[in-house]
Amino acid sequence: MGKLLLLDIDGTLLNSHKELPASAKSALAQARENGHELAIATGRAPFMFEELRKELDIDTFISFNGQYIVHQQKPIHKESLDPETLESIYEYAEQQDHPLVFMNETKMVSSIDYHPHIEESIKSLKFLHPETEAGFHADNEIYQALVFCEEQEEQQYHDKFKTVDFVRWHRVSCDILPKGGTKASGIKRLIKLTGHSIEDTIAFGDGLNDLQMMETAGYSVAMDNGHEQTKAIASYITDHVDNDGLAKAFKYLGLI
């Protein structure tokens, strides 16, 4: 059996311009031909990388940092945020003038018509500022929410809401996830279906939300553009994503 390759999107598959390098696309195709299985592991919602999945012909993924897992197009795990906790966070954040965005597998909705922090961070993913929709977070399963605050404002949320995790992914935004919901837990659920062992998994990432995934996988590769904490725990550090880092890692590991 080949390896199970777990691929982060932003800063790993996609370069700093949010484009898929030709070298990465070719490397993935070659790795598949060589018997390796490809899976995406991302903090993004499924609707945010649907076109990328189609382009790469990948039908297995861990999304929302582990909260929504699909194996060969079939959802195998869903874990939404507790509605009462989410409402409490919403009310508290409103008092602090911190807007929220709520996401399920098909769309995202803002708690406010417009906010520059939402614009800045969501635009970095090549998406427009989401619209508002009354009652969306109360009427739908929400797998991930985003709270928009700067780093020095973040600790109050950790102190007040102990049953969820806040994971910073942008200068002005934190993911809100069920406690313990990580890409690492997603890997453990996924390999039960793929037949791989942990030792057969290789994680590729760059961000803070990749830390636990990289600690759990049998082998881990950090991009040179990655966070210093991510690079510190990686088994190997490859070149910058903008300099064919993913393809170079595949060659180094003998995947292609």
Q: Which residues are catalytic?
A: 8
Beta bridge pairs of residue 74: 71
Is the separation of the CB atoms in 92 and 98 below 8 Å? no
Tokens of 182: 């990580």
Residue 229 CB coordination number (10 Å):
13
Question: Scanning the structure block, which residue is given the tokens 């299985």?
Answer: 37
3-class DSSP state of 127: coil
| CA-based nearest residue to 220, from 232, 234, 237 | 234
Alpha-carbon torsion angle 14, 15, 17, 21, nearest 10: -80
**Whole-angstrom distance, CA of residue 181 vs CA of residue 6:** 17
Which H or E run contains 76? strand 74-78
Q: At what angle do helices 245-252 and 22-33 cross, to 10 degrees?
A: 30
Tell me the one-letter amino acid at 207: G
Pinpoint the alpha helices (H) of 34-82. Answer: 50-56
**Whole-angstrom distance, CA of residue 52 vs CA of residue 7:** 12
Beta bridge pairs of residue 174: 147, 168
